[in-house]
Amino acid sequence: MKLISNVLLLIILSGLVACSPQIKKQSATTIELNSGWQFSEADQNEWRTASVPGCVHTDLLNHELIEDPFYRLNEHNMQWIDKKDWEYKTTFTIDKSTYSKEQIALNFEGLDTYADVYLNDQLILKADNMFRGWEVDCKNVLNEGENTLRVYFHSPIKVGLDIYDNYPYVVQSSANDLAKIGQVPGEKWVSPHVRKAPYQFGWDWGPRLVTSGIWEPVTLKAWDNAQLVTIHTQQKVLNDSEAKLTSTFEIEATADETAQLAINIDGQQLANKKVHLKKGTHTYPIDFTIENPQRWWSNGLGEAHLYQLEGELSTSAGTESFEHTLGLRTIELVREDDEVGRSFYFKLNGQPVFMKGANYIPNDVFLDRVSPEKYEHIIKSAADCHFNMLRVWGGGIYEKEIFYDLCDKYGILVWQDFMFACNMYPGHPEFLESVKHEADYNVRRLRNHPSIALWCGNNEILAAWFGWGWKEDNEKTQPEGAKAMWQAYKDIFLDVLPSAVNEFDPDRQYWASSPQAGDTIRTNKIDGDEHDWRIWFQDVPFITYHDGAARFVSEYGFQSFPELKTVKKYALPEDYDINSEVMKSHQRSFIGNGAIKRYMDNYYRNPKDFESFLYVGLLLQAEGIRTGIEGHRINMPTTMGSLYWQLNDVWPVASWSSIDYYGNWKALQYFTRKAFAPIMAVPDTKTDDLLIYAVSDKFEDTPAQLNLEILDFEGKQLWSHSADVNIKANTSTIVFKEALKSLLKNINTSQVVLSTKLSVDNKLVYETTSYFKEAKDLILPKPNINTKVEKVAKGYQITVSTDKLAKNLYLSYDEAEGWFSDNYFDLLPGESKTIVFETKEDINNLQKQLLIRTIQDTY
């Protein structure tokens, strides 16, 4: 009924207001200014074509003025770039009708970082923060006809050094600021002072390549009467029969005027309203109702249903619209006292949901290189592996729109950090002002995305201040500085940022630091979120993950080098040794190689060569983090989140990532698809009993069949067990328990595999293999593996079969780009499996080119 009455109203009103798209009179003209740009080193007058959006490094690369910065040790020779100033310029023409508009503004959506902008040689803007947009009125400086726009970028290092040298104390940074590689005089940490992507100054998985450039689009907007600045849509009521919403229009008007607002959902007008615009910038709410709403669910729990919202402002000058996607859901971070301590879990649409996912960093050190396809590949990979959350970590960037659009679409919730990580920060008024603008800008930009679940102030600063000795060290060496740094912490993370959330996105919660326990303490196991780095940094075994970790594990991880195919892109055969200069330079963790080696010795036999080392290293990481995910999930509902460190890479490197820089899935990514499965079984063979946990994310109990088998490596069944089990909803339950001593009485545990299968309605929903000994202690026979390769529409289909256990079978085409539908899996004796290698390339001599490896080949 409601809809019909709105349609009628529309017909009546259409006589008054131009509503149909065909007859829409544009009230605003928007011109893109992203072409015709040139760049030059400042004062050198050597102008060459440039890309906008872009950066100086990729422009130099496109002109072959520098070599590939990722290749071998090239990064070290490119440190001069960030010590120079650079200029960008373009010309554009303004026609009469645009020029005659009342208001004309230039919009810079992102300038990296210290940028003086000149229009027709007149300074119109001095920018100093990469993370915000800038709108500049330019009517008085603009010409009808030709105009020149010039942007002068000051070296962020030189500006940073200037601030650093004149600052009353040293702002504590971490060793992630690779000032030494950056060849910064005195190895000074300038990064805390510069509001620019922290990871470009280096990180323990990243190169030191500090860019300058116009990294987001530039537009010019001209308008008469009024402009629709933005819309914020808030959900007031959501139940099965209706969603009541309010869209608040922010409108800037040049004079008082009567205007018309309208809301269209999926092309249908649901509300309109006459408003009296007041001169200046003001807000105007309009209410509307969606009948029988479809909810937005996170991946795995239902459809991530999206509505398309279009808000229209019509004045006597014409109609302007603003669009955003709309997802109807409730989300809440639940913090309640309980028998363990205090909960930390997300409730989506009223249901507690275990968060499965990873930490996300930018996809390149040069942001302009990340194609829409790359974004989609990364987020679709996460969704395909049952992730429902990514944490946009605070040392990268507030991501581009496309990232959140994809998360909305694939049902991936976003834990959104503000861009502050592992540094203390200055707290002088100009800095706080800059941070305030940055926070306001990004909260306003992103708040309509249903995927965003939480705003978080920073990464590991609270932990560093209280737990890494920063407080004590600074209190000793620079007491006044220590006081000032803590005050700045409170100002930024307990005032400026939460105020921005409160003001512009009051429906979402704010969490000051990750990790944090309670409201103040850095970390503990009973309250808040936790970064569990005992594994990796403290050398404890992987099984420690089963110890009943914290309430929500927002970081934990283990490194690997990428596969050989990726190593080949940055290293020569003569570098194939993890201690070579090139490989060491592509390993940024100060404990990296040693930690990998020590853990490898605990679980695997010594790999016989470099290629074997890479492959075993990938398995080591995958097994370790699988143990982590399983440990967290079996601890449900005490633990309600497992976000490992880290999903992706910014360059080809040894890191904690599960997908390498080129988009190849490491073994870990394949393992997450199993470990994050909606229903899974976790065999635990590490205590006196064989325990089988069944874990479910479903909201109803699932009757299932459990099948267990112990097989020798030739395929002979030595023991089996089948039972009907009830898999309890949204928790973890033990569905099998038997003393290992009696179970393994006559069994040689170095020669057997345990196969665990869960079936629902006679359909296999989960299977996994486990062992009673570490891989190094297994006596593995040499399997005979058969392969058959056929061309299929998407690429090639490979069928593999084996006579004996093929442990962690790995397939690769070193020379072809593509993606294997499965890899690094155990193939049981007598089993066969069909895998698709998706590729656009034609591969000659397929059978020969296919490389196959199992653990048995590594020693």
Residues 7-36 that bind ligand BMA (CB under 6 A): none
Q: Which is nearer to ligand BMA, 204 or 527 (CB)?
A: 204
Residue type at position 59? D
Give DSSP secondary structure letters for 472-505. HHHHHH-HHHHHHHHHHHHHIIIIIHHHHHHHH-
Q: Which is nearer to ligand BMA, 174 or 235 (CB)?
A: 174
CA 17 – CA 319 distance, rounded (Å)? 9
List 314, 319, 448, 459, residue binding ligand BMA (CB under 6 A): 459
The least distance separating ligand BMA from the CB of residue 602, rounded to whole angstroms, comes to 20
Q: Which is nearer to ligand BMA, 114 or 645 (CB)?
A: 645
Q: Which is nearer to ligand BMA, 203 or 604 (CB)?
A: 203
The least distance separating ligand BMA from the CB of residue 189, rounded to whole angstroms, comes to 15
Residues 566-605 that bind ligand BMA (CB under 6 A): none
List 59, 177, 460, 530, residue binding ligand BMA (CB under 6 A): 460
The least distance separating ligand BMA from the CB of residue 655, rounded to whole angstroms, comes to 8
Question: Among 647, 600, 622, which Cα is nearest to 775's?
Answer: 600
The least distance separating ligand BMA from the CB of residue 39, rounded to whole angstroms, comes to 32
> Is 645 an interacting residue with respect to ligand BMA (CB under 6 A)?
yes
Q: Are strands 452-459 and 509-514 parallel, antiparallel or unpaired?
A: parallel
Backbone phi and psi for residue 32, each to the nearest 5 degrees, phi listed first: -80, 135
Burial of 842 (0-12, 13-18, 19+ CB in 10 A): exposed
The least distance separating ligand BMA from the CB of residue 460, rounded to whole angstroms, comes to 5
List 555, 563, 630, 649, residue binding ligand BMA (CB under 6 A): 555
Q: Which is nearer to ligand BMA, 552 or 645 (CB)?
A: 645
501-540 footprint of ligand BMA as x/- string (CB under 6 A)? ----------------------------------------
CA 800 – CA 802 distance, rounded (Å)? 7
The least distance separating ligand BMA from the CB of residue 513, rounded to whole angstroms, comes to 11
392-431 footprint of ligand BMA as x/- string (CB under 6 A)? -----------------------------xx---------
Q: Which is nearer to ligand BMA, 167 or 468 (CB)?
A: 468
Burial of 782 (0-12, 13-18, 19+ CB in 10 A): exposed
Cα radius of gyration (the chain): 29
Q: Which is nearer to ligand BMA, 203 or 415 (CB)?
A: 203
CA distances to 110, 207, 214, 525 from 55, rounded to whole Å, are: 11, 16, 6, 43
> Is 752 an interacting residue with respect to ligand BMA (CB under 6 A)?
no
CA distances to 461, 708, 726, 760 from 703, rounded to whole Å, are: 46, 17, 5, 7
Q: Is residue 678 within 8 Å of residue 411, measured between CB atoms?
A: no
The least distance separating ligand BMA from the CB of residue 560, rounded to whole angstroms, comes to 13
Question: Among 323, 410, 420, 328, which Cα is nearest to 375's?
Answer: 410
> Is 755 an interacting residue with respect to ligand BMA (CB under 6 A)?
no
The count of residues interacting with ligand BMA (CB under 6 A) is 9
Residues 186-205 that bind ligand BMA (CB under 6 A): 203-205
The least distance separating ligand BMA from the CB of residue 558, rounded to whole angstroms, comes to 10
Q: What is the DSSP letter of 234?
A: E
The least distance separating ligand BMA from the CB of residue 499, rounded to whole angstroms, comes to 25
Q: Which is nearer to ligand BMA, 555 or 623 (CB)?
A: 555
The least distance separating ligand BMA from the CB of residue 554, rounded to whole angstroms, comes to 9
CB atoms within 10 A of CB 777: 13
The least distance separating ligand BMA from the CB of residue 420, rounded to whole angstroms, comes to 11
Q: Which is nearer to ligand BMA, 288 or 645 (CB)?
A: 645
Q: Is residue 202 within 8 Å of residue 208, measured between CB atoms?
A: yes
* 3-state secondary structure at position 532: coil
* 3-state secondary structure at position 688: coil
Within 8 A by CB and 6+ apart from 833, the residues are 799, 800, 801, 822, 825, 827
Q: Which residues bind ligand BMA (CB under 6 A)?
A: 203-205, 421-422, 459-460, 555, 645
